[in-house]
Amino acid sequence: TQQGVVFLINDNQEVIAASNYELLEELDITQSSIYELLTKSHTDWDQVRLHSEKCVIKNTAILETDWNLVAIIPVAEMKQPSRRIASFMIAIMFAAILLAGVCIIWFSAWFTKRMQRLAMQMVNVRSGNLDIVIHNDDSDEVGMLYDSFNYMLLEMKKLMQQQYESGKAIKNAELKALQA
């Protein structure tokens, strides 16, 4: 990591090599602090505080030598990638919710518009206009309502025509009966 440091020390707690000497000096790791760090660190990563910053430390003995490999990494730097991922995921979730909201609004407006169109045509039929045909290209539930509405109007026209014809026939029959 950028702010982490790895170094080799011998049994006398002298630094033999380091990945970043400047950072090692900034952390102010002296022989006494190395000993203290090594006594705190065993086999797993342990948390320590260096200059009020939480760090994790790992101490590993190098076989057949008197050297130890010590790694010190600030916890904040380890968490930084996960924070970026969390921010990215939150942004994606926000965008997805926004997109879903737009889609819901668009769909409900489209559906409501179709239902309002049917309701307006029903008002026209109530006022006596039976020459209405709703053009339909959809096969969903609203499309089925449109088709049923058109069929109902066609059947009403047929029944009214039949009633008119039968009324006309009755009148003709009554007129002939009166003439006879």
Quick one: how far is CA 84 from the chain centroid? Answer: 18
User: 35 pLDDT band (50/70/90 cuts)?
Assistant: low
What backbone phi and psi angles, to 5 degrees, belong to 106? Answer: -65, -45
The helix/strand/coil state of 80 is helix
Region 26-36: what's the mean pLDDT? 62
Residue 140: enclosing H or E segment and its boundaries?
none
pLDDT tens-digit readout, 41-72: 555 777 777 777 788 888 888 888 888 888 88
Beta strand residue intervals within the chain, DSSP E? 5-9, 15-18, 46-50, 53-61, 68-74
pLDDT for res 40: 57
pLDDT for res 82: 86
pLDDT for res 89: 96
> Which phi-psi region, left, alpha or beta, contains residue 140 (left: φ > 0; alpha: ψ -120 to 50)?
beta
Quick one: how far is CA 124 from the chain centroid? Answer: 44
Give the residue with greater pLDDT, 154 vs 79: 154
pLDDT tens-digit readout, 117-160: 889 999 988 888 888 888 888 888 888 999 999 999 999 999 99
User: 105 pLDDT band (50/70/90 cuts)?
Assistant: very high
Share of the chain above pLDDT 90, in %: 34
The helix/strand/coil state of 5 is strand
Region 80-88: what's the mean pLDDT? 89
- The torsion of the CA quartet 108, 114, 119, 120, rounded to 10 degrees, works out to 120
pLDDT for res 47: 77
The helix/strand/coil state of 28 is coil
